[in-house]
Structure 1
C-alpha cells in the first residue's frame, strides 16, 4: 500500500466512531495497530487520529463533532477494511483474547490467502489476511 511519496500510503480509510477513544484502544490492543497521532478537542473528543499497521494507516475521529465530513457521514453505515498481516492465526488469537467479535475464523481462501473477519465495537468489519496484491504504476 505504499504510495509514490517516500513510502507513504496513498489511501487512508477514514472512520468515525461514537466513542473514538474506545475504538483506538480496541484497534491498538486487539488488532495490533500503533498510535501515530491523536488530536483531541477541548471537550475530549478525538478530532483526528492516525493509526498504523505495517505500511498502511487508518484515520479515526469522533462522530458528532461537526464539519463537512461528519455531516456527510451522518447516515453512513459501517465500513469494511482489509489489512495485510504476516501471521493470521496469531493476529486472530490476539483479537480473540481481547473479546473481539469474530465473524469468520482463519480460513484458507481459493485465491491463496489465509484470512479472518471481525467486527469492531461500532460495527465496522475488519478483514485481516495474507493477500497483498502488488500494485504497479
Structure 2
C-alpha cells in the first residue's frame, strides 16, 4: 500500500509580464476572490490586475511582478494497492519452480503524475485545497491497473 499527499508546483503566467524575456518563471497576481491574472493586464471589467506599472523607490516605472507565492499549485493525492503472490513447487532435491502473480494499482485509481502550471488552466479548473493551494488540470497520470505473471525454474 502506498499513499502520499500531492506534490507542489509553481503556477506561471506563460506571459513575459516583467519584461525579462522569459515566460517560464513569471507568476500571476491573486485577486481578492482567489482568481489569478497576469500582472499589469486589463481584466474583463476594465480594471488592471494589480497596478498597471509598479514604481521603484525613485519613482521610476518598473515592470510588474506577480504576488502569488512559490509552490502554491498542488497535484491530487496518490494511492496505490499492489499485491504479489508466489508459490514454490519442488521437483526433487535440485529442481524448483516458482510461480508468481503480481497486481499493481489493483483498485485502478486515477493517480495524477503532473498538472498544468498555467494560470488559465488553474482558473478553469476552479478547485482549491482547504489551505489555499490551487489544483489544476491533470496533464499526465501514473499507470492504470496492471497484472504481471511469471515463472522461474531453478535447477
TM range (shorter): under 0.3
Higher-Rg structure is 2
The structure whose residues are more often helix, as a share, is: 1
TM-score (norm 2): 0.21
TM-score (norm 1): 0.23
